[in-house]
Amino acid sequence: MEVIYYHPPMKISNENDEIESLARSYRRQGYTVIKNVPLPYGFVDLAVITPKKDLILLEVKMQSGVNDVAHALGQLLLYREQIDKTKFGKILYVIHCFEQIPYETFLSLQKICAKHDVELNVPQPYKGDQDE
């Protein structure tokens, strides 16, 4: 199952634009895309179903800070308990952020997400004293 690491060259100003950009990218790959999937406790920003009936759930965040990633991780863990897993093959949970973060922060957050089988997708993390 392939996650699209799409980060447009232009500056996207809000989560809805980013969700739409991701949706277009997955549709071009031939995947079924559903935006704002309602669940009993919240909604998934983007659900992608592959031809093999695998499911990718994406929680999209404008910021890539620790609080935003922690919030998205909590959302995905809550959604995990609400998904009917018998309808799908593999299920992949992804936090998709579209702001750069320091490399060290990315590595720490990535380890935490990996412990919960959640993938963290951010633009190229930067090293050194670059501005965000």
pLDDT tens sequence across 4-35: 544 444 455 678 888 898 899 999 999 999 99
Domain that residue 116 falls in: 15-121
Residue 9 lies in a domain: no
Q: How far apart are CA 100 and CA 61, in angstroms?
A: 12
Q: Which pLDDT score is estimated for 67?
A: 86
Q: What is the CB neighbour count within 10 angstroms for residue 52?
A: 9
CATH number at residue 107: 3.40.1350.10
Q: Which pLDDT score is estimated for 132?
A: 44
pLDDT tens sequence across 108-131: 999 999 999 999 988 776 776 544
Q: What is the CB neighbour count within 10 angstroms for residue 113?
A: 21
Instruction: List the single range of 5-19, 40-54, 59-73, 106-120 with lowest mean pLDDT.
Output: 5-19
Residue 10 lies in a domain: no
- What's the one-letter identity of residue 116? H
Residue 51 lies in a domain: yes
Residue 130 lies in a domain: no
Query: What mean pLDDT do residues 61-90 have?
Result: 87
Residue 31 lies in a domain: yes
Residue 43 lies in a domain: yes
Q: How many domains does the chain have?
A: 1
Residue 6 lies in a domain: no
